Structure 1
Amino acid sequence: MDLQISVFLLFILFTAGHSLKCYECTSQMGSCVQQLTCPSGLSKCSTAVTQIGDITSKVSVKNCAAACQNWSMNFSVLKMSSFCCDTDLCNAKDVPDLSSNVPNGKKCFYCDEHSCLNITSCSGTEDRCVKATAALGDQTLVVKGCVSKSVCDATALVPSVANFSCCEGNLCNGAQSVTQSFLFLCCSLLSYFMMH
């Protein structure tokens, strides 16, 4: 009986003492060598990449996370993607180059500074079209593009974005002209997904 208790206590001691280690950095897509022992409650490693333009500006953020999902967003000139894992230092690699993702056949409307009549090809896990609007003073900002299902499922947690809707058909996010830049709205979405 004493042997069983001793083995049980040793098992608890060794498993309780193991904390997840993740790479931690914010970089312009370079190597990340800084390691972090995750605090209690953070049980995943994450890597999130944001790309503006065709590799004009690319930033990678790696860290520990409480809960996260793999997801991707494509607003044509702004692309974001996140990868999660749960083993030591599993976030060593960056997510794949967002400009090289293979199109998956889905097409959605996206907005630029002048109109929302533009069409983009979705890629990877982007299996939904999205349309989001938010009021900024007396102007309405509109964002359209491709997203992963997990982004649609999490939108209820983004309080600053009103009228966020996802749909599954090609070009189902409708055409509408817009006069305001969409980057302000993208920033609130980006900050939410980069921090969670």
Structure 2
Amino acid sequence: FFTLVLGLWLLPKADALQCYECLPNKHGSCTETTSECPSQDYQCAAARATTFIGDSKIFDITFKSCVQAKDCFKGSFNYGISKIRINTSCCTGNLCNTKPAPYSGLVSNGRQCFTCKGPDCTGSLNCEGSEDHCIKATWTVEGETTILKGCTSKQFCSGDAIAQAAHMTGADVSCCQGNFCNSASGPSGGLLLLMVPLISFILFS
């Protein structure tokens, strides 16, 4: 028994990965460095967050870091007039996250949710890619209530994700499954008020 314990103790211990790290500042730029991940549970990652207003791309932010396996995913928010797409590529070798995450286009998946166009929140929206939930975000600024509706991926509908989104944006966020399940009515508007803190929540949560 003593020999077995001694042998296990003398086995070489696996080291945490070394990964490239590049965390964008408020202007979207960063300086690439290397860092050691906190533990063996982490992988190297390259991620991209792309934001659209209508057909115009307004943000295309890339970053690299150590992440846990649960944070390696592709997903999106889609409010019709605005979209945020997230693409994360992960790998398990030292300094393997050399290339930036690719940009990926999305196609309709057959699901539909309500969306808001001006004060009318009864418009229909075709969901895309992995968007398998309908979403409704409500927040109040200076006494004025704003509602956004659309499609999103399940990764953004967990209890932790909703709690973090509420903390970062001040919005009351709810998700549901089923076509047009986000049917409650209300005024819309104020997209840019939500965009910047929402991107921060996605990148740095």
TM-score normalised to structure 2 length: 0.73
Pair 1:192 & 2:201 matched: yes
Equivalent-residue separation in structure 1 for 2:177 and 2:150 (angstroms): 12
Post-superposition offset of 1:38:
3.6
Pair 1:169 & 2:178 matched: yes
Equivalent-residue separation in structure 2 for 1:80 and 1:91 (angstroms): 21
Post-superposition offset of 1:158:
2.8
Q: Identify the match of residue 156 of structure 1 among 155, 158, 163.
A: 163
Post-superposition offset of 1:10:
5.7
More strand as a share of residues: 2
Pair 1:61 & 2:65 matched: no
How does 1:69-148 map onto structure 2 within 5 Å?
A: 69-70=72-73, 71-76=75-80, 77-83=82-88, 85-88=90-93, 89-90=96-97, 92-97=99-104, 100-148=105-153
Contact 2:46 2:100 in 1 (8 A): no
For these two proteins, the number of residue pairs brought into alignment is 187
Equivalent-residue separation in structure 2 for 1:158 and 1:166 (angstroms): 12
Contact 2:46 2:99 in 1 (8 A): no
Equivalent-residue separation in structure 1 for 2:18 and 2:117 (angstroms): 41
Equivalent-residue separation in structure 2 for 1:143 and 1:129 (angstroms): 11
Q: Secondary structure at the match of 1:111?
A: strand
TM-score normalised to structure 1 length: 0.75
How does 1:18-29 map onto structure 2 within 5 Å?
A: 18-22=16-20, 24=22, 26=24
- Select between 168-177 and 85-94 the one with higher mean Cα deviation: 85-94
Equivalent-residue separation in structure 2 for 1:91 and 1:116 (angstroms): 43
State the partner residue of 2:32: 34
Equivalent-residue separation in structure 1 for 2:35 and 2:130 (angstroms): 30
Of all paired residues, the percent bearing the same amino acid is 25
Contact 1:131 1:166 in 2 (8 A): yes
The 4+ residue runs of structure 1 with deviation greater than 4 A are: 4-8
Equivalent-residue separation in structure 1 for 2:188 and 2:166 (angstroms): 23
Contact 2:134 2:177 in 1 (8 A): yes
Contact 2:50 2:57 in 1 (8 A): no
- Select between 162-171 and 121-130 the one with higher mean Cα deviation: 162-171
Letter in 2 for 1:21: C
Post-superposition offset of 1:93:
4.2
Q: Structure 2: give runs of 5+ residues left out of the alignment.
A: none
- Report the CA distance shift for 1:190/1:8 in structure 2 as closer, same or farther (over 3 A): same
- Report the CA distance shift for 1:179/1:156 in structure 2 as closer, same or farther (over 3 A): closer
Q: Secondary structure at the match of 2:194?
A: helix
Equivalent-residue separation in structure 2 for 1:180 and 1:172 (angstroms): 20
Equivalent-residue separation in structure 1 for 2:162 and 2:112 (angstroms): 21
Q: Structure 1: give runs of 5+ residues left out of the alignment.
A: none
Contact 2:147 2:188 in 1 (8 A): no
- Select between 126-135 and 150-159 the one with higher mean Cα deviation: 150-159
